[in-house]
């Protein structure tokens, strides 16, 4: 990506970065690559993620992602995406206000898919030909993704601008005519034959972060290492964690690293932690995965891509949204085992058997994994040509 576009005046691109971890991560490398190609990039980014752009020479418009007051009013049984609906609503308002008061003549715009640009543009009046949407995984689904409960956090912004913001998760799979930058390969995409000429497959970004020296993990050379994580949003499935403990407690065969997310109080939740378990609120995933034998994951697209790249055997336990489709595709391509909670009761015995099967089949998964990784590399190799076509 070192070739520079020869232009007297660099084309200006406005990027509305994603407000959730997996979505933001997907945009970082794209911003870096576009800058290396000579584009002038302005990122509208939350304060939570702004520092991760510090090594990139882009302009930053930073806004607060604090919705803690709203969080205090939510009942404890609120679904995982409840607080995120308010975050997306606030982010939509901040992006719109930024663009309405910014006199910069941008040549192009990139919006994370959670921004309902079709509705926003009723106010912004941007030429649709200048707009691209960044998709973190698929643009199709076999699951019903729409949930009107998520509209609650969008209501204020909708009323303020007199528009009708739609469920942001449903937007991933809502047909539109905008150009789509899709962070996977056509080979890995669910029903690739149904995608169209607006779809540009540019492969995933496997983020290699600086090693976290505070992570005090030591691998036991005499045991198989199992890493368990349900991601940053859906991580509060306590019954699943307890089933994992039941499956592997005091095992002489397995060493377990379990990441339970920031919303779980480890000391209060797990009264007795077996000696072969280490439980954390956060684990530097890309740092750990090369050591892992079996990765139990929620099948989020970023985590799945990182798992495939590390050659860990995958046991996928999808929780929501596109994760069921990601797990379905990985299993179809013989690169892992999927456990669908809508089709079975995922007990301790089922978890233990799935891990044993995944480990025993690790060699047979290698061909499927290699085919997927090769397709990712091919898609990524086309990025420069795609950027030049879209942002000409």
Kindly give the confidence (pLDDT) of every residue in the chain, 392 residues in length, as a single tens digit, with 9 standing for 90 and above.
555 555 468 999 999 999 988 889 889 999 999 999 999 999 999 999 999 999 899 999 999 988 888 777 777 777 667 888 999 999 999 999 999 999 999 999 999 999 999 999 999 999 999 999 999 889 988 877 777 778 989 999 999 999 999 999 889 888 899 999 999 999 999 999 999 999 999 998 776 666 677 787 888 999 999 999 998 766 678 889 999 999 999 899 999 999 988 778 888 889 889 999 999 988 888 889 999 999 999 998 889 999 999 989 999 999 887 899 999 999 999 999 999 998 999 999 999 999 999 999 999 999 999 999 999 999 999 999 999 999 99
Dump the DSSP string for 86-101: HHHHHHHHHHHHHHHH
Extract the tokens encoding 250.
């005091």
Q: Of 247, 252, 369, which is closest to residue 312 (Cα–Cα)?
A: 369
What are 129's two structure tokens?
A: 């030909």
Residues of the chain with CATH 3.40.50.2000: 12-182, 224-373
pLDDT, residue 62, reads 97
132: helix, strand or coil: strand
**Strand positions, DSSP E, the chain:** 12-16, 40-46, 59-63, 108-112, 131-135, 179-182, 199-201, 224-229, 254-259, 277-280, 294-297, 313-316, 336-338
Consecutive H or E run containing 37: none
- At the topology level, CATH places domain 12-182 in Rossmann fold (3.40.50)
Predicted TM-score (pTM) of this structure: 0.85
The pLDDT assigned to 213 comes to: 73
pLDDT at 172: 86
Neighbours of 266 (CB within 10 A): 12
Q: Between the CA atoms of 96, 97, 102 and 103, what dihedral angle is there, to the nearest 10 degrees? A: 80
Q: Would you call 179 helix, strand, or coil by DSSP?
A: strand
**Packed helices 301-310 and 21-36: angle between N→C axes, nearest 10 degrees:** 70
Helices (runs of H) and strands (runs of E) counted in the chain: 13, 13
Check: CB of residue 88 under 8 Å from CB of residue 63. Answer: no
Q: How far is CA 120 from the centre of its chain?
A: 23
Distance CA 312, CA 306 (A): 9
CATH topology of domain 224-373: Rossmann fold (3.40.50)
For 101, phi then psi, to 5°, come to -110, 5
């Amino acid at each position: 990506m070192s070739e520079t576009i020869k232009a007297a005046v660099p084309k200006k691109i406005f990027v509305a970065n994603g407000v959730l971890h997996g979505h933001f991560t997907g945009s970082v490398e794209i911003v870096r690559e576009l800058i290396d190609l000579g584009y002038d990039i302005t990122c509208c980014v939350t304060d939570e993620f702004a520092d991760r752009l510090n090594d990139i020479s882009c302009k930053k418009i930073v806004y607060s992602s604090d919705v803690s007051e709203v969080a205090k009013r939510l009942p404890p049984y609120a679904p995982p995406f409840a607080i995120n609906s308010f975050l997306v609503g606030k982010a939509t308002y901040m992006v719109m206000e930024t663009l309405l008061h910014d006199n910069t003549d941008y040549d192009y715009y990139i919006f994370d898919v959670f921004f309902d640009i079709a509705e926003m543009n009723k106010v912004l009046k941007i030429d649709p030909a200048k707009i691209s949407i960044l998709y973190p995984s698929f643009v199709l689904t076999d699951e019903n993704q729409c949930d009107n409960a998520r509209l609650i956090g969008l209501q204020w912004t909708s009323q303020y601008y007199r528009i009708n913001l739609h469920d942001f998760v449903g937007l991933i799979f809502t047909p539109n005519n905008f150009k789509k930058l899709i962070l996977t390969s056509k080979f890995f995409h669910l029903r690739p034959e149904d995608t169209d000429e607006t779809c540009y497959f540019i492969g995933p970004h496997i983020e290699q972060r600086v090693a976290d020296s505070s992570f005090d993990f030591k691998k036991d050379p005499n045991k198989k290492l199992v890493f368990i994580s349900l991601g940053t949003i859906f991580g509060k499935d306590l019954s699943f964690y307890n089933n994992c403990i039941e499956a592997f407690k005091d095992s002489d065969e397995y060493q377990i690293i379990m990441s339970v997310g920031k919303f779980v109080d480890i000391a209060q939740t797990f009264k007795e932690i077996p000696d072969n378990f280490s439980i954390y609120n956060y684990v530097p995933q890309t740092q750990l995965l090369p050591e892992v034998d079996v990765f139990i994951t929620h099948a989020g697209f970023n985590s799945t891509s990182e798992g495939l790249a590390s050659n860990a055997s995958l046991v996928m336990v999808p929780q929501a949204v596109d994760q069921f489709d990601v797990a379905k595709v990985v299993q179809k391509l013989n690169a892992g085992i999927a456990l669908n909670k809508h089709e079975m009761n995922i007990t301790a015995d089922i978890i233990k058997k799935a891990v044993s099967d995944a480990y025993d089949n690790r060699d047979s998964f290698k061909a499927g994994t290699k085919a997927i990784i090769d397709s990712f590399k091919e898609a990524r190799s086309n990025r420069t040509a795609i950027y030049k076509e879209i942002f000409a």
